[in-house]
Amino acid sequence: MLRLILAEDSVLLRAGLAEVLTRSGHEVVAAVGDAESLKRAVAAERPDVVVTDVRMPPDYRDEGLRAALELRSSEPALPVLVLSQYVATAYAARLFGGGTGRSGGAGSAGGLGYLLKDRVGEVDEFLDALERVAAGQTVLDPEVVRVLIGHRSAEQPLARLTPREREVLALMAEGLNNQAVASRLFVTEAAVVKHASSIFTKLDLDPAEGNRRVLAVLAHLRDSTPD
């Protein structure tokens, strides 16, 4: 069971998410509708994981995302799952911006995730992402990965990858390990390791494991995406 704080300004969605989480065996210790209430609730409840929307009152811009970054700055081990209505690679870049030594919150031990709200409708996928973030893993919505990979030019290193290598890269960027990638693509884990090795070589990435690998991949995709 996870102790969660949920921040979502829509009363109906907040209630629906709380119901899903409760029925799944988790405890929602606080459900709030704005970023300031989120920060107060985290200080009071010390949750296992925070789930927050990007856009919240009063201006409905990026208050939830800024609160998440602030929380991670003061509590780097706090797992945070951010939900967004739209594919916004700039939001994802800000959230994961610390993975390669830049300022931000992703380079620490706590899990970090960015999902589109549409993914919440796929309850099993949403709960899997939540539990992976709570376990310290990195999770990025596959649609965001698709957009990041799609913004490549013929001159960029991504263009050197084979179609299968791009599939493997996309799944690695979502936060899947070799075993999970192999299961998704119906290939052996050894085949995934071989493809990953080729990807690391072509993109000049550190062949690390776990979150270090995911964050390195995300940093490369972010830097390859036009502003």
- CATH code at position 113: 3.40.50.2300
In angstroms, the Cα distances linking 170 to 29, 88, 165, 199 are 34, 17, 9, 11
Return the bridge partners of 83, or none.
53, 115
Are 165 and 198 in a shared domain? Answer: yes
What pLDDT tens digit does each residue of the chain (227 aa) get? 999 999 999 999 999 999 999 999 999 999 999 999 999 999 999 999 999 999 998 888 899 999 999 999 999 999 999 999 887 777 877 888 743 333 333 444 589 999 998 888 889 989 999 999 999 998 999 888 888 777 665 557 788 889 999 899 889 888 888 999 999 999 999 999 999 999 988 888 877 767 777 777 777 776 665 54
- pTM here is 0.82
- Within 10 angstroms of residue 21's Cβ, the number of other Cβ atoms is 21
**What total of structural domains would you count in the chain?**
2
Domain residue limits at 102? 3-140
Are 70 and 152 in a shared domain? Answer: no
* Residue 116 in tokens: 């589109």
- CATH code at position 207: 1.10.10.10
Chain centroid, CA 178 distance in Å: 18
- Distance CA(16)–CA(212), nearest Å, equals 34
Are 75 and 168 in a shared domain? Answer: no
